[in-house]
Structure 1
């Protein structure tokens, strides 16, 4: 089943959700700000995305700039930062089977789903 890691305050995420609704395909919404992924769930997402942890971080977020920017962090520390501050996770993430993409560009989401 398709999953979307969704932030209702994000326009790109809302657009992706609307696109999925219009596709008539079955999917699950994960409101990751309300139910943040665990470190192991994030690690699994990173594998599906084929990303390093830093590639999933929204580095322009105030929390990142004030607390983490310029520091030398391990991958595990970056993952923990996202677990503790899920607003740092790039969105939306669309997952299908063992693959995932960042769903900001709907032209990429369409062939993916």
Structure 2
């Protein structure tokens, strides 16, 4: 496995744990610090497409911006929701791990090990 990415938020314990599990496996990992370097619209569209989910499914429902704006109006287009995630990257579910062409939300982080064991 050569192409491994983790969309990582160092402040998130689940994201740190998933990264730790990948490191234990001794894999070369491309760490995407999306909180520092915001994802583009196209990058988020690609992630959503590979996850095969809608934008609302990638949004963390416990975040303040979700509770104060998104859940109240509740009638945003997919484009608007993607733009919210670009503007407020803390809305994005994490951690997201991409191994080769497969991508998944590693919650719980042990999903990383399950995926690796199935794809050795």
Q: TM-score, normalised by structure 2?
A: 0.89
1:78 to 70, 77, 81: 81
User: Which structure has the larger Rg?
Assistant: 2
TM-aligned CA deviation for residue 25 of structure 1? 1.1
Partner of 1:100: 103
Q: TM-score, normalised by structure 1?
A: 0.94
* Structure 1 residues without counterparts, runs of 5 or longer: none
- Note the aligned Cα RMSD (angstroms): 1.1
> Following superposition, which runs of at least 4 residues in structure 1 exceed 6 angstroms of deviation?
none
CA displacement, residues 24-79 of structure 1 (integer Å, 9 cap, x when unaligned): 01111111100111111000001111111111000110011112113201111110
Quick check: 2:14–2:109 contact (8 Å CA) kept in 1?
A: no
Q: How many residues align?
A: 113
After the TM superposition, which residues 1-113 of structure 1 pair with which residues of structure 2 at under 5 Å, given as runs? Answer: 1-71=3-73, 72-113=75-116
Q: Secondary structure of the residue that 1:58 maps to in structure 2?
A: coil
* Structure 2 residues without counterparts, runs of 5 or longer: none
